[in-house]
Structure 1
Amino acid sequence: MGGLSIWHWLIVLVIVVLVFGTKRLGNVGKDLGEAVKGFKKGMQDDDKPSAQLPDESRRDTTSTSQRDDSTSDNERTPR
């Protein structure tokens, strides 16, 4: 008695179609499909980040403090 039957869902569907129209509902469906495709593509891209990471031996050996000092020297120089 507490659940919704198929007739309740059909009435809700008819009301939604009458309120929003079939064109707008079609656009919503298309946008939702594109969002799902983009999400799946993003998830596939996240599976492959190890191939894109730089090699540890190629990292810059300059320490962070040395970089910060050179930056602050540039900022102190008047233009």
Structure 2
Amino acid sequence: MINKIFTIEELVCDESFVRFCTGKVDENFEYWKSLTKNNENGSQMFDSARELVLILSCSPTLNDMREDKKKLLQLINKDVAY
């Protein structure tokens, strides 16, 4: 990735930044770690973007809800089988 000036909106919409904020290590993790650590001018902006990402990531995704539903139905069916 090229070093550039990001807006909070761009960061929150950037999937690799979101993964970084939520602790998922990928090929861009070290990039974001270095950029957020060494960017004195934008540190408040990165902190604000990270806070938004963490707030938004607390909501379950559609996939999470489907997986939870599947697990619940399995438990229900298991109890009914007895």
* TM-score of the two chains, using structure 2 as the length reference: 0.30
Q: Which has the higher contact order (CA 8 A, sep 6+)?
A: 2
The higher radius of gyration belongs to 1
* TM-score of the two chains, using structure 1 as the length reference: 0.31
